[in-house]
A = this chain, B = another copy of it.
Amino acid sequence: MFASTMQDFPLTVTAILRHGRRVHGGSECVTWTGAAPRRATFAEVAANADRFAAALSSLGVRAGDRVGTFCWNTQEHLEVYFAVPCSGAVLHTVNIRLFPEQVAFVVNHARDRVVVVDDSLVPLLGGVADRLETVETFVVVGDGDASPLGDRPVVRYAELLAGHEPGYVYPELDERQAAAMCYTSGTTGNPKGVAYSHRSTFLHSLAATTPGALGLSDRERVLPIVPMFHANAWGIPYAAFLSGASLVMPGRFLQPEPVTRMIAQERVTLAGAVPTIWADIVRHGEEHEIDLSSLRRVICGGSAVPRALIERLRDRYGVTVLQGWGMTETSPLAAVSHPPAFVEPGTDEDLDWRARTGRVVGGVELRIVDDAGRELPWDGEAVGEIEVRGPWVTASYHLDDAPEKFDDGWLRTGDVGTVDRYGFVQITDRAKDVIKSGGEWISSVELENHLMAHPEVVEASVIGVPDPRWQERPLACVVRRPGSTVRAADLAEFLAGRVARWQVPERWSFVDEVPKTSVGKFDKKVLRLAHEKGDLQVETLDR
C-alpha cells in the first residue's frame, strides 16, 4: 500500500467539543423554563461539561461504562452529551416515552451504572427504579423531590458541577469506540440498541451541517423540539457545536403555546419536530395570534409530512419545510427533501418535491431491492425495500446480531418505496404495512396523505385487513374534525379522484384518535389488534 502522509487524527466528539468551545464559544444555549429562559454560551456549556466529566470520574465511571439520561432537551442534557463520550464513557439516552417495562429493559440491557434524570421526570423513572439492576447512582437535575427513586445514592447535578473545576483533561480516544447508545422504539419485540461510535458521530455531525442536509452555520438559531433521546435529536446538538448554530432548548414545554412563544422571543430560524407537532402549531395559529416571522425553515421527520401541512406553513407563515428521513439505525440523517436545482423555490412544483421523502444525503448510500433481493432501477417507478449503508449506519444491534435486518452489508430499513434519477426517495409504506390486494400493492401512506388533505379530516391511518376475495383490502381509520358530519362515501369519492379506483377502501371506521407509538408515529399494530378483536366499528361501502 502506498501510504498517505496525512495525520492519523481521530474523529471524536472531543474534537467537536474543542471546536465549539473555542471557535464558537460565544454561541448560545438557551433553555426554556416556564419563567425567564436560562442562557449560557457554548464556552460555559463546555466548562460545565468539563466539570461533569470530572464528577463522573469521582463517581467511579470508567472508560466504556454506560451513563443513562432520562431528560428533556436542556442545557444540562447538552453538557452531559459532551461530558460522557469525551470522558470515554458511553451516553445512553433513554426514551422517556417508552412503556415502563421497556425503560427498565433498556437500562438493564445497556447496564447503565449512572442515570442522570430531570427532577420533573423523577416520578416517571421512580415507577421502575426498583427494577433497574445495574444503576449505582442517580444524578438528579434540579432540586425537586428525589424520594421516588428509592434508596440508591442520589446526587444533585448542580452540586457535582460546583464540586469540580473546568479544564478536565479528556483522554485520547479510538474513533471506533462507542460514544452513545440509543434504543429503537421497537413496535415489535424488545427495543434494540444501536451504539454510535465517535467516528460515526463526528461524520454525521459534519454531514448534518452541509446544505444538502440541515445547512447550519452560526447565523442559525435552532430549536430542537425533537427529543435528545430520539436519535440524538437528529444530530442537531453536536452539529450545533461544529457549526456554531445557537440552540434553543424547549425543556418540557412542547405544547404549541410555549413553542410559538419561544420561537418569537428567541428569534428561532430553524426548528425540528415530528409532523404532528407542526400540525398542532398550525391549528393553534388558527385561533391565536402567533409570530413565526423569524422562522425560515422547519425540519420534519419521524413520519411522512402531508403536503397540505407544508403548503399551510408556506402560505400562512412563509416557512419552508424540509423533510428528513432516517432512523435510529442511521444516526439518523439519510435523506432530506431539498428539491433539485431545476425546481423554482416557492412554486407548487417545489411543494410537490418537499412532500416527497427526501434526496439521499452525501455519505449515505442507498438502494432498493425486490423480494428476491435484486437491485431495482432508480426510475421513480420500481417499488422495493430500501437498504442503506455508510459510515453512520449500523451494522448490528447491541448484543443482538439480528441478521434478518441486514443484507450483505446493507441495513434493511423496513421502508418500501421508489427512487428517481435525482436520488430522490419516495417512501410508499413500511414493508409490514403494505397492503397486498389481489397481487398488487397498495400504499397505506399514500391513502393516508390524501385523506389528511381533506378539510374535514384531522388524522387518518390505513391498515390492511383480510379479505376473502383479494387476500387483503385497506381499512381507513379516520379522525374527523369536531362537529364534522363528513361520511365514508364522501371520503371514498374524494379519494377516487386521487388514486386508482381499485385502491379506494370499502371499509371505513371513524375513531376518536389514532393510537401513537412512544415517538409519535401511528401505531398500526394497535389498530390491527383492535380490528381483530372487533373493537373497531367498521362501515363497508359497496364496491
Residues of chain A at the chain B interface (Cβ within 8 Å): 1-9, 11, 15-16, 18-19, 22-27, 63-66, 90, 174, 176-179, 193-197, 199-200, 203, 206-207, 209-212, 215-219, 242-244, 338, 340-341, 359-360, 362-363, 365, 378, 389-398, 409, 421-423
The answer on a CB contact under 8 Å between B11 and A391 is: yes
Chain B residues closer than 8 Å to A64, beta-carbon distance? 1-2
The answer, among B22, B193, B199, B244, for a CB contact under 8 Å with A212, is: B244
A342 to B90, CA, bound (A): 36
The answer on a CB contact under 8 Å between B2 and A195 is: yes
Additional A-B contacts beyond A3-B178, A4-B179 (10; CB < 8 A): A2-B66, A3-B195, A5-B394, A6-B392, A6-B394, A7-B393, A11-B391, A19-B363, A210-B243, A211-B217
A421 to B177, CA, bound (A): 32
The answer on a CB contact under 8 Å between B211 and A178 is: no
The smallest C-beta distance from A194 to any residue of chain B, in angstroms, reads 6
Chain B residues closer than 8 Å to A210, beta-carbon distance? 206, 209-211, 217, 243
The answer, among B63, B206, B217, for a CB contact under 8 Å with A206, is: B206
Given A23-B360, A242-B362, A395-B6; A338-B217 close (CB under 8 Å):
yes
The answer on a CB contact under 8 Å between A340 and B9 is: no
A308 to B194, CA, bound (A): 54
The answer on a CB contact under 8 Å between B422 and A4 is: no
The answer on a CB contact under 8 Å between B176 and A362 is: no
Given A26-B422, A243-B210; A4-B362 close (CB under 8 Å):
no
The answer on a CB contact under 8 Å between A2 and B218 is: no
The smallest C-beta distance from A199 to any residue of chain B, in angstroms, reads 7
The answer, among B65, B378, B394, for a CB contact under 8 Å with A22, is: B378
A413 to B288, CA, bound (A): 58
Chain B residues closer than 8 Å to A18, beta-carbon distance? 365
The smallest C-beta distance from A164 to any residue of chain B, in angstroms, reads 24
The smallest C-beta distance from A240 to any residue of chain B, in angstroms, reads 11
A218 nearest CB neighbor, chain B only:
B341
Q: Can you name 14 A-B pairs with beta carbons within 8 Å?
A: A2-B65, A3-B197, A4-B178, A4-B197, A5-B193, A6-B394, A11-B203, A15-B365, A22-B378, A23-B423, A203-B206, A206-B207, A210-B211, A212-B217
The answer on a CB contact under 8 Å between B7 and A395 is: yes
A203 to B202, CA, bound (A): 10
Among A4, A176, A197, A209, max chain B CB count under 10 A is at A4
Among A2, A174, A359, max chain B CB count under 10 A is at A2
A19 nearest CB neighbor, chain B only:
B362
The answer on a CB contact under 8 Å between A243 and B90 is: no
The answer on a CB contact under 8 Å between B200 and A6 is: yes
Chain B residues closer than 8 Å to A66, beta-carbon distance? 2
A15 to B423, CA, bound (A): 15
Chain B residues closer than 8 Å to A195, beta-carbon distance? 2-6
The smallest C-beta distance from A359 to any residue of chain B, in angstroms, reads 7
Chain B residues closer than 8 Å to A19, beta-carbon distance? 360, 362-363, 365
The answer, among B6, B244, B395, B421, for a CB contact under 8 Å with A8, is: B395
Chain B residues closer than 8 Å to A341, beta-carbon distance? 27, 217-219, 244
The smallest C-beta distance from A45 to any residue of chain B, in angstroms, reads 16
A359 nearest CB neighbor, chain B only:
B23
Chain B residues closer than 8 Å to A177, beta-carbon distance? 1-4
Chain B residues closer than 8 Å to A219, beta-carbon distance? 341
A398 to B217, CA, bound (A): 36
A340 to B243, CA, bound (A): 11
Chain B residues closer than 8 Å to A23, beta-carbon distance? 359-360, 362, 422-423
The answer on a CB contact under 8 Å between A212 and B3 is: no
The smallest C-beta distance from A412 to any residue of chain B, in angstroms, reads 13
The answer, among B1, B11, B421, for a CB contact under 8 Å with A174, is: B1
The answer on a CB contact under 8 Å between A421 and B26 is: yes
